[in-house]
Structure 1
Amino acid sequence: MTAVSTATTGAQLLAGYQPGESSLFASPRGTLLAEGTYFAVPPSGRADGHADLARRVDAVLGVAEAAGHEVRTVVGAVPFAPGAAAHLIVPQRLRRGSAPTAVPPQPRPSTGLGALYPVPAPEGYRDAVAQAVDEIRRGQYTKVVLARSLHAQVSGFDPAPVVRALAGRDPGGYTFAVDLGAGRTLFGASPELLVARHGRTVTANPLAGSAARSADPVEDRRRAAALLASAKDRHEHAFVSEQVAAVLRRYCSSLTVPAEPSLVATATMWHLSTVITGEIADPAISALALATALHPTPAVCGTPTEAARAAIGRLEAFDRGFYTGMVGWVDASGDGEWAVTIRCATAGPDGIDLYAGAGVVADSDPAAELAETTAKLGTLLNALGLENADVA
């Protein structure tokens, strides 16, 4: 059997996903199932390991080519913090298939999850947002994204049925499951494309500004219209789209940026969205090089970046790990797709951790930002069959 093969459908690859033995990345363009590890990208040893990540990946792909290995693609995840080690591999075997398709609601998987413990407690999160608003108003930074987590102790958790449920629920997003080793899996369904490169075409789709959806169609349309008209959310969105465009202009010979944001919907959220497209000036610049130049955007960190990152270190009660990093793939030609690692969880021997965050600006309301994180947690809670859990 060859190292690279093509499957007929994304559904076949989803069915073939086995935690601990494979990793999966599904997007509107197609599905990848990476099996086994041929070679791992070595750590950097630098304080800013993201800076030389594309170079290290190119070196590993060169090793694979020199050895005659048929897979010339790296898959995996990059953490939020620049000094933390990425988890990127050349797989032993790579299978490709079509994009996932929507499926009718299936019986909920039995996850065995018990009580969910918020980190921090809801009042602690509101206090952190209030502190950030005060610091913003005093001019320390312009925006910061503050996150919170839910932890559940569980043994023998199987993420595979949850991953399949996520792909069927939001096939227009980016569903992923990355084997991190030592019995740990990063999985989720992100609505946000950080950047993709296919040939000379570059695409980015920053999202910022959100509202929870409603089961009532009339109320759902009202919420969508209110989000599109919200000065606060449009201001927050502009921070992100303008910075993404500014970075991409350094690498593109042409770039198209819509003047106004549009709406994009997932099963649980409305988001303000801007689809930015361009043509790469130098084909030697890979999708991963573009992704590391963009990461972290104000959508997951804030602005200015270093001041916002410092505020996150002071105000958040946990280590983000791979949450708000990036997940995806890049091949030897430079093509690839990298999604922002949101709407995600990490499962391991010590339990499961779910994550969500909200952008804080000068006129943010702590209670509203808490409610936004609760709504965002709904993506994973629904897939886990815990949509009625009290997490706020």
Structure 2
Amino acid sequence: MIPISIFEKISHQLQVKKPFIAFSLPDSEIITFYFQKSNKEIDIKENDEQGFVMHPFDESQKVYNISKSDADTIEIKINESFEEFKNIKIKVNPSEIETHKALVTKAISEIKKKRATKIVVSRVQKIALKDFKFELLLERIFSLSQNTFRYVWYHPDTSIWCGATPELLLKTEDECFHTMALAGTREYVTNSSVVGWSEKEQHEHQVVIDDIVNKLQKAVTVLKMSKSYTHRAGPVVHLRTDIRGCFKKGKASLSAIAKILHPTPAVCGTPRKVASEFIKEFENYKRELYTGYLGCIQDKSKDSFLFVNLRCMKIENNHAHIFVGGGITADSNPEAEWEETQNKMKTMLQVLQPML
């Protein structure tokens, strides 16, 4: 259980509209809280400060920071978890299904015209909450699968966001780094050790690998890749390849490498410019913090982590807004892509279950 004193602190922050973040790194039993003390805005990347950064998908939108020097920091240990994975059904308007399928069809058409290799399209599902409790949200987020980056964020400009993302954007270790290619999604099947990934899924994954490697070669001296393997993230599994390397001298900047990588083909597409323009023109909603990145920036004596903001939702005015999407290639099937977004919603629905 999370101590009552933490919830009292959160209640105060919400009341006075001051930002806070609670997060737990993959495979960690520790939740770290930063409670911002002032109303000052500090750019931690520009001022070489430690803290937490929340970067939106769109580079033109505001970046949010909580500086460690302007925050009360608390750490507690997680002592419980759950694996319910119940098949929660929510009502979806048939027009929403057709709208998303039409968007997928449009993306396939663009790809077949050779304008792009891959385009990531997404949607947001709005769900009314009958009995929202912040305490329950916090406890259920941090009871999710420990191989994800779990967080709950609040800022008066953004409202509440939370998630459990499986995708590392960047981890720095002295002069070296670790990132990953994550693409292809299947529903997790209990006791199934082997996943037969289709040619379409393997191609989509390779597109992501190639794009990341090509971009990183400008700033690194060494690149090593693992073999592709199946990675479980709660109710779904993905194809994953780990990529490691070391920075070139003078380019060992977390923000510089993040700028090279973001947005990755896993959340935007390739070529980046073409896919980004398609998203802006045809998605018909603002992604906000979804498919942006977030994480903890430390001094050089400690590792810094940035994660892609996936499997996430926004809570505002007693409604949850769950953001989901998928990578489209020439071989994509609109019906299958719709089902993929439904599968990806399960993680956040699992969190919301007692509040629906």
Q: Which TM bucket (shorter chain)?
A: 0.7 to 0.9
Which residue of the partner structure matches residue 283 of structure 2? 316
Secondary structure of 2:249's counterpart equals: coil
Deviations for 1:358-383, whole angstroms, at most 9, x for unmatched residues? 00000100000000010001010111
Contact 1:207 1:273 (8 Å CA) reproduced: yes
Alpha-carbon offset, residue 352 of structure 1? 2.1
1:357 counterpart (325, 330, 333): 325
1:88 counterpart (65, 76, 79): 65
Letter in 1 for 2:73: R
Secondary structure of 1:319's counterpart equals: coil
Deviations for 1:139-173, whole angstroms, at most 9, x for unmatched residues? 12111001011112448834442343233221111
The answer to whether structure 1 residue 380 and structure 2 residue 348 are counterparts is: yes
Cα distance between partner residues in 2 of 1:376 and 1:14: 32
CA distance 1:15–1:104, shift in 2 (3 Å): farther
The answer to whether structure 1 residue 57 and structure 2 residue 55 are counterparts is: no
Give me the TM-score of the superposition, normalised by structure 2: 0.85
Which residue of the partner structure matches residue 6 of structure 2? 16
Q: Which range moves more in the overlay, 354-363 or 278-287? A: 278-287
CA distance 1:102–1:267, shift in 2 (3 Å): farther
Contact 1:344 1:355 (8 Å CA) reproduced: yes
Alpha-carbon offset, residue 312 of structure 1? 0.9
Cα distance between partner residues in 2 of 1:120 and 1:78: 31
CA distance 1:203–1:59, shift in 2 (3 Å): same
Alpha-carbon offset, residue 115 of structure 1? 7.1
For structure 1, list consecutive stretches of 5 or more residues without a partner in the other structure: 1-10, 43-55, 62-71, 109-113
Cα distance between partner residues in 2 of 1:328 and 1:94: 17
Contact 1:99 1:171 (8 Å CA) reproduced: no
Cα distance between partner residues in 2 of 1:80 and 1:183: 13
Which residue of the partner structure matches residue 81 of structure 2? 103
Alpha-carbon offset, residue 186 of structure 1? 1.3
**Aligned-residue CA RMSD (Å):** 3.1
Q: Which range moves more in the overlay, 21-30 or 366-375? A: 21-30
The answer to whether structure 1 residue 157 and structure 2 residue 157 are counterparts is: no
Contact 1:120 1:148 (8 Å CA) reproduced: no
Letter in 2 for 1:243: D
Cα distance between partner residues in 1 of 2:77 and 2:211: 30
CA distance 1:362–1:255, shift in 2 (3 Å): same
Letter in 2 for 1:253: T
Deviations for 1:178-236, whole angstroms, at most 9, x for unmatched residues? 21215711110000001111222311122101111134x3xx44xx5222xx2111110
CA distance 1:289–1:12, shift in 2 (3 Å): farther
Which residue of the partner structure matches residue 24 of structure 2? 26
- 1:248-327 aligned within 5 A: 248-258=216-226, 260-282=227-249, 285-327=252-294
Give identity over the alignment, percent.
23
Contact 2:34 2:72 (8 Å CA) reproduced: yes
Which residue of the partner structure matches residue 78 of structure 1? 55
Contact 1:343 1:356 (8 Å CA) reproduced: yes
Cα distance between partner residues in 2 of 1:13 and 1:210: 36
Deviations for 1:238-278, whole angstroms, at most 9, x for unmatched residues? 111222222333332322112x3111002211100011112
CA distance 1:339–1:268, shift in 2 (3 Å): same
Alpha-carbon offset, residue 105 of structure 1? 5.2
Q: Which range moves more in the overlay, 233-242 or 173-182? A: 173-182
Cα distance between partner residues in 2 of 1:358 and 1:167: 25
Give me the TM-score of the superposition, normalised by structure 1: 0.78
CA distance 1:364–1:352, shift in 2 (3 Å): same
Alpha-carbon offset, residue 310 of structure 1? 1.1
- 1:171-182 aligned within 5 A: 171-181=146-156
Secondary structure of 2:47's counterpart equals: helix
Deviations for 1:298-340, whole angstroms, at most 9, x for unmatched residues? 0000000111011112221311000000011213438411100
Deviations for 1:67-120, whole angstroms, at most 9, x for unmatched residues? xxxxx41213110011111111214335365885762458x9xxxxx9766697
Letter in 1 for 2:219: Y
CA distance 1:140–1:232, shift in 2 (3 Å): same
1:128 counterpart (55, 79, 103): 103
